[in-house]
Amino acid sequence: MLFLDINDTDFDTRFAAILTRGEETSLQVTEVVRGIIKDIRSSGDDALLEYTNRFDRLGLADAAGLEITSAEIEAAVAAVPADDLAALQLAVERVARFHEKQKQQTWLSTEESDILLGQKVTPLNRVGIYVPGGKASYPSSVIMNAVPAKVAGVREIIMVCPTPGNEINPAVLAAAKLAGVDRIFRVGGAQAVAALAYGTASVPKVDKITGPGNIYVATAKQLVFGQVGIDMIAGPSEILVINDGSGNPAHIAADLLSQAEHDELASSILITTNRGFGEKVVAEVERQLAQLSRESIARASWDKFGAVIVAGSVEDAAVFSNRIAPEHLELAVADPFGLLPLIENAGAIFMGHWTPEAAGDYLAGPNHTLPTGGTARFFSPLSVDDFVKKSSIISFSEQGLKRLGNRIVQIAGLEGLEAHARSVRLRLENHG
């Protein structure tokens, strides 16, 4: 863990390791994933079954066993305590309510009497959502990917989730049912991404793949992009907390550890204007680490990619935050709304001392699938927009083309595109 002053002369050098963590995909990983994609494309279900049996230790006899049956889903739902189901249902409802506000409708403009312009909004036909099933299982990931797709009007939602040793958290299947997932396959890794991208006899080809995964999943999404759409390339999780010396150090420590427990490459950073407060947070992190069931993972993350930074002002902290463009940004200050206008780059912004990042992970409403690794400079959270496509509508009347046609011909001439110009000129010359 680094304890730095933002004005230290060697700050950039010492901080570089955190910024570049998980940045490079080894050539070996890329080649392995290329091979898996090639096998799925050429051998379909046979290859998918072989990889699934090998990597997840399943022993399925045929490809029919790759799909989780409706009976299995119902049994899983029955196994989830009623109070837990109620919590998942609340999350589905709140996430749906938030994403409903993002919906856009097809529109037409009649501002010009002789030309009609507009935009047609069409839901994607079929999407695939990837839900991790390795180190942890995430019913919240199901909700955050499936619900906006459902709100957008996607016709079919296909979910893939690895089930190592044929085990899956019943809450994951329950969340899928509550969120409106249509079919679920017990496959994961690069092979699942390839199956969704190219289709097999069992797994239908989709238009877009969303959801986080390990380095093999992320690499596979990158390699199949163009064949299908993807949401983003997700990297290790991260949180940055801006603090002005106010609040409870134990709360801040818990928030930092909420990301550190994800995996060893996660990064948790506090930037505070009060060195003493920062020292108290460090002490609290050490105390709370010992209480975590995932202590080894959280400790590895904190030791290698954790940092406490002392800044001269919250304005300086905001400048630093914009440079980092964090996935999760907490404004743990006395006046978060006063600081908000200075924030330009962040996946999600958590305001004040009573808004822990975990609230956004589960049921606040906004999506928890967020840009990582500085990509919040140009990416946005997963939203309804990710599950629709937009087509421009253009309709010229004869009078409209007569009014603007010569200018179209003129610009086509600037580009030396004679056929473009002729397609307009002929209409202007021959009005019938």
Catalytic (active-site) positions: 327-328
N residues, the chain: 432
How far is 1 from 146, CA to CA, in rounded Å?
37
Of 20, 39, 122, 99, nearest to 374 by C-alpha is 20
Greatest Cα-to-Cα distance within the chain, rounded to the nearest angstrom:
84
How remote is the C-alpha of 165 from its chain's centroid?
A: 27
